[in-house]
């Protein structure tokens, strides 16, 4: 999802770009390439802020931050240090996926994920058209090499052995 202030959003094939504000969905653009019907009720359910304070779900969410902080700091960290780290993680606003990507990158000597606002693209349509023209060639050794590297990275990030 992009914020409403994204300067130049482009709908990929089968996608819609919408703005959700005050419980209403306004379609901004669709891909024009087989975009599926927009399910406004489902979309609103996904993006509506959910109150979890004082609920079992909220407690589970906080416990997950605490466990992640404890794992990061190690067994010798004090309760207070772990609680402070968990609060920092929660306050960072990064999703569990983004934090997981950062942890994977750190373990593998890579830089953390950096959020970059999208910039106006003068050639987005041309790029999309070129992707549409690309040949599906799964037997090409270079394609197989790229997919093998991706599979290995994903497997390692998920802690799988035979990756």
CA atoms within 13 A on the CB side of 155: 10
Verify that 152 and 104 share a domain, yes or no: no
Give yes or no: residues 151 and 108 share one domain: no
Nearest to 1 by CA among 44, 59, 57: 44
Domains in the chain, number: 3
Spatial CA neighbour of 72 closest among 5, 64, 161: 64
Considering the domain architecture, whether residues 11 and 36 belong to the same structural domain is answered as: yes
Do residue 45 and residue 75 come from a single domain? no
Do 102 and 56 share a structural domain?
Answer: yes
Position 98 in a domain: yes
Q: Are residues 43 and 7 in the same domain?
A: yes
**Residues of the domain holding 100:** 51-114
- Tens of pLDDT along the chain (163 residues)? 555 455 556 666 666 677 766 667 776 666 666 667 777 777 766 666 566 777 887 788 788 888 888 988 999 999 999 999 888 877 776 666 777 777 778 888 888 877 665 666 778 888 888 888 888 888 999 999 999 999 988 888 877 765 4
């Amino acid at each position: 999802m992009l914020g409403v202030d994204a300067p130049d959003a482009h709908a990929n094939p089968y996608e819609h770009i919408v703005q959700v504000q005050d419980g209403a969905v306004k379609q901004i653009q669709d891909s024009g390439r087989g975009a599926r019907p927009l399910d406004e009720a489902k979309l609103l359910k996904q993006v509506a802020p959910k109150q979890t304070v004082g609920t079992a779900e909220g407690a589970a969410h906080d416990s997950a931050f605490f466990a992640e902080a404890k794992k990061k700091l190690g067994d010798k960290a004090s309760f207070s240090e772990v609680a402070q780290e968990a609060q920092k993680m929660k306050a960072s606003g990064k999703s569990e996926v983004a934090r997981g990507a950062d942890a994977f990158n750190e373990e593998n000597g890579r830089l953390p994920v950096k959020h970059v606002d999208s910039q106006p693209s003068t050639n987005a349509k041309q790029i999309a058209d070129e992707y549409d023209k690309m040949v599906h060639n799964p037997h090409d050794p270079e394609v197989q090499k790229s997919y093998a590297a991706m599979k290995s990275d994903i497997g390692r990030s998920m802690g799988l052995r035979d990756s």
